[in-house]
Amino acid sequence: MPDQQLPPDDHVPMPRRPPSATRQWAWIGGAAAVVVAVVVGVALWLPTVPNGPDGRRIVERQSAAQAFPGGLARQPASENQPGRRETQARADGDTTTAQRIAVIADEPIATWLTDPSVTTTRETVREVVANARRQDKTPVFVLYTIPDRDCGHYSKGGSTPAEYLPWIRSVVRAAAGSHAVVLVEPDAIAQIHVCKRLSDSRLPLLRKAVDELSGHGLTVYLDGGNENRVPTATMAGWLRQAGVDRTQGFFTNVSNFYRVDQERAYADRLADAVGGDPHFVIDVSRNGRGWLGTWCNPEGAGLGQSPHVTAGSSRLDALLWVKTPGLSDGTCNGGPAAGQWWESYALDLVENRKDGDG
């Protein structure tokens, strides 16, 4: 560096502070920094001060628009199973089938993360996030690798207890700051009602998952089951134990068929029982004909209304297509294995679609 120029002769330099004054100013500056840090810390901490029933600390819930900035993103082609089938049908010259499948493929559908592989999951999340960013919309993920998933039934599998939280952390690292919506483990809480071996381990594990997901720019909802499944007071207690006070709220009707008006009434009762004004989202992917007597591939089911973010005038944040229409619920009523594409069922869902409330 060149030598620093001296001030001109007519410039009177400021006298140097004595060492004691220097130390005093250093002390004041340090104190100010501490005050700023405390103020910032308090500002960040304020949303979780004791502000709910029984002195609970409850996060400040976002509006629907804040929870889903830009609206709902569509999946990239690599994750859109109906879209892949539509493309194949067009290549085969089957325009009629392609047009019917496009009714499903063109809608925003949640992306399910079901593979316990950290590497595969990270790549999927990054691809979906990048695709949503290009649309300037919000991606929706469904975490579905809880240990002892589905209590050993049609969708059995998932991570081991040792693998689960590292897997959650891999999702967080890939999605952090993306404003993605994360639906944590459908059935994971409601299924405790009929699978008693889950009662001791499931809720503490979900609470740890919430710990990992919190504070990274993600909007998290927990499993709220659906009406006629678990007593509302019981479900509310389980949600509190799972950490719902540190999330946006809960989801209902995932992979099920109850109508919006029924589910919304149930969700409002559940939110009241939880306390602290949790918000909720409802799966309307296949509820166009309402409950048809079974949750597993019922005959006559139809697509629900198009997924969308609400106006934000209530606790209902969005109506979503969480379950991918056309994927089987399991080997029941003639279906293939759970999660497999079942084209005849997909076409029936389109044929039976009913516009309106769903």
State the pLDDT at residue 25: 38
Q: Are 267 and 277 in contact (CB under 8 A)?
A: no
| Collapsed DSSP state (helix, strand, coil) of residue 312 | coil
Answer yes or no: 329 catalytic.
yes
Answer yes or no: 150 catalytic.
yes
Same domain, 184 and 325: yes
Domain extent at residue 212? 66-351
Compute the distance between CA of residue 34 and CA of residue 30 in angstroms, rounded to an integer: 6
Compute the distance between CA of residue 209 and CA of residue 205 in angstroms, rounded to an integer: 6
In a domain, 8, yes or no: no
State the pLDDT at residue 6: 33
Answer yes or no: 272 catalytic.
no
- What number is the average pLDDT over the span 270-293? 97
Encode pLDDT of 15-43 as tens digits: 334 444 443 434 434 444 443 343 333 33
DSSP string, 199-246: TTTHHHHHHHHHHHHTTSS-EEEEE---TTTS-HHHHHHHHHHHTGGG
Same domain, 275 and 184: yes
In a domain, 287, yes or no: yes
- What number is the average pLDDT over the span 63-78? 98
Compute the distance between CA of residue 84 and CA of residue 89 in angstroms, rounded to an integer: 9
Whether the CA torsion 272, 273, 275, 278 is positive or negative: it is negative
Residue tagged active-site, from 148, 223, 245, 329: 329
Share of the chain above pLDDT 70, in %: 85
- What number is the average pLDDT over the span 317-341? 97
State the pLDDT at residue 54: 80
Same domain, 344 and 260: yes
State the pLDDT at residue 358: 57
H or E stretch at 195: none
- What number is the average pLDDT over the span 96-114? 98
State the pLDDT at residue 55: 85
In a domain, 6, yes or no: no
Would you state the structure tokens that stand for residue 190, as one six-digit string? 């409601």
pLDDT above 60 (res 109) = yes
Work out the number of other CB atoms within 10 angstroms of the CB of residue 5.
6
Same domain, 40 and 116: no
The number of folded domains in the chain is: 2
In a domain, 237, yes or no: yes
Q: Are 229 and 183 in contact (CB under 8 A)?
A: no
- What number is the average pLDDT over the span 297-316? 97
In a domain, 59, yes or no: no
- What number is the average pLDDT over the span 213-219? 97
Compute the distance between CA of residue 225 and CA of residue 244 in angstroms, rounded to an integer: 14
326's CB contacts (< 8 A; 6+ apart) are 81, 82, 85, 101, 104, 341, 342, 343, 345, 346, 349
Q: Which residue has the higher pLDDT, 332 or 28?
A: 332
Same domain, 85 and 25: no
Residue tagged active-site, from 136, 148, 187, 348: 187
Q: How many helical (H) and strand (E) elements, i.e. helices and strands, does the chain have? A: 10, 8
What average pLDDT does the chain have?
A: 88
Q: Which long-range contacts (CB under 8 A, 24 or more apart) does 143-146 make?
A: 143/113, 143/168, 143/171, 143/182, 143/183, 143/184, 143/185, 143/209, 144/112, 144/113, 144/114, 144/185, 144/186, 145/113, 145/114, 145/115, 145/116, 146/185, 146/188, 146/202, 146/205, 146/206
- What number is the average pLDDT over the span 57-78? 97
Same domain, 24 and 149: no
pLDDT above 60 (res 106) = yes
In a domain, 11, yes or no: no
Q: Give the CATH number for residue 220.
A: 3.20.20.40
Same domain, 28 and 148: no
Compute the distance between CA of residue 174 and CA of residue 160 in angstroms, rounded to an integer: 21
State the pLDDT at residue 50: 65
Encode pLDDT of 166-215 as tens digits: 999 999 999 999 999 999 999 999 999 999 999 999 999 999 999 999 99
Same domain, 70 and 36: no
Q: Are 292 and 301 in contact (CB under 8 A)?
A: yes
Same domain, 188 and 313: yes
Residue tagged active-site, from 3, 94, 150, 277: 150
- What number is the average pLDDT over the span 251-258? 98
State the pLDDT at residue 213: 98
Same domain, 40 and 70: no
- What number is the average pLDDT over the span 115-135? 98
Directed axis angle between helix 202-213 and helix 161-175, to 10°? 20
Directed axis angle between helix 81-91 and helix 343-351, to 10°? 100
Q: Which residue has the tokens 């004791």?
A: 50
Looking at the chain, list the stretches that DSSP marks H as alpha helix, in order from N- to C-terminal side: 19-45, 64-67, 81-91, 95-105, 118-135, 161-175, 202-213, 232-242, 260-274, 343-351
Same domain, 148 and 40: no
Same domain, 273 and 139: yes
